[in-house]
Amino acid sequence: MSETRVALITGSSSGIGAAVARRLAAEGMRIVVNSARSEAAGKELAASLPDAVYVQGDVADAADARRIVQAAIDAYGRLDVLVNNAGTTRFIPLSDLDAADADVWRDIFDVNVIGAWQLTTAAVPHLRESGAASVVNISSVSATRAMGSSVPYAVSKAALNHMTRLLASQLGPEIRVNAVAPGLVETPWYNGVDEVWQGSRDWITANTPMRRVGTPEDVAEAVHYLVGAATYTTGDVLTVDGGRHIV
C-alpha cells in the first residue's frame, strides 16, 4: 500500500473545493474529487491533477456518502484527509422570514450539516488507520455573526462549528477535526446575484483590514495548514476573512 496521503474533498468541482484539491495535490497528495452535479467539471479537474479520481455523489444521500468514501478506498487503499466542503444556500434577506420556510431549512441542513456528518462517520474507520488523519469542515463567519446569505445557512454553519468541536473531542488522538470559516469569497455561488455581490464586495473591500474579499486560494491555504503543519491543533475554527471580524 502506498504511503502517499489521500485526500477526499467534497463539492470540489469548482470554487473553494477545487482550490483545496489543487493545493493538496501540489503537496503530493492523491486527490478524490467529488460533486453532486457538475460531473464534467469534476472529471476535468481530476484529469488536470497529477494523481486524482472523480466520484459523483450527493453527500446528503446516506448511500451516496458511503459510496463516495468507498470509492476513495477502492482507488487508493487508504484515506488520510477529509475536507467537508460540499455546501448549499439560498440567497434570502435575513428579514424575510416567510421565504425561509421549512423546506429551505431542510434542504440546507441536509447538505451542510447532515452531509458532513454522513461523510465523516463513513470515513472514520479508514481515517483511524492513517495514523495522522485530519478532517476539515468548511464553515463560514456567518456562523458567529448576524450575517450571511440566509438565516438557515448561517445557522447550519453554526451547527457545523459545534459538530467540529464535538467530533474533535471524541476522535483524538488518531483524527484531528477542525474547521475553516471564510468571510466573503469570490466563488461561482455569486453568479446571477451580481448586484448583491458587487455591493457586498465593495463594502468588504472598504471595511476590512486587508482591503479585499477572499479568494478560494486563501481558504485552500488555511486547509493546507490544518491538515499539514498544525499537528497539535484540533477542535478549532480558523477564521479567514481578511480581519473583518476584528473591526
Write out the three cell numbers for 217. Answer: 486560494
Tracing cell 448511500 back to the chain, one arrives at: 63
Q: Go through the chain and tell me how many residues it has.
A: 247
Look at residue 192 in the predicted model and tell me its pLDDT.
Answer: 56
Q: Which residues are paired to 56 by β-bridges?
A: 35
- Which are the catalytic amino acids? 153
Distance CA 100, CA 106 (A): 10
Count the Cβ atoms, other than its own, within 10 Å of residue 146. Answer: 8
158 in a structural domain: yes
233 in a structural domain: yes
Q: What is the mean pLDDT of each run of 10 residues along the chain (247 residues)?
A: 86 97 98 97 98 98 98 98 97 94 98 98 98 97 92 98 98 98 83 64 88 94 98 98 91
- To the nearest 10°, report the CA torsion of 23, 24, 28, 29: -160
179 in a structural domain: yes
Look at residue 15 in the predicted model and tell me its pLDDT.
Answer: 95
Measured in whole angstroms, the distance separating CA 102 from the mean position of its chain's CA atoms is 24
72 in a structural domain: yes
pTM: 0.94
Count the Cβ atoms, other than its own, within 10 Å of residue 189. Answer: 17
End-to-end Cα separation, the chain, in angstroms = 49
Distance CA 53, CA 47 (A): 8
Strands 133-138 and 81-84: parallel
Write out the three cell numbers for 132. Answer: 495522522
163 in a structural domain: yes
245 in a structural domain: no
Contact 110, 60 (CB under 8 A): yes
Distance CA 48, CA 41 (A): 11
Look at residue 143 in the predicted model and tell me its pLDDT.
Answer: 93
246 in a structural domain: no
- Which residue range(s) make up the domain with 145? 6-240
Look at residue 1 in the predicted model and tell me its pLDDT.
Answer: 39
Look at residue 140 in the predicted model and tell me its pLDDT.
Answer: 97
Q: How many domains are there within the chain?
A: 1
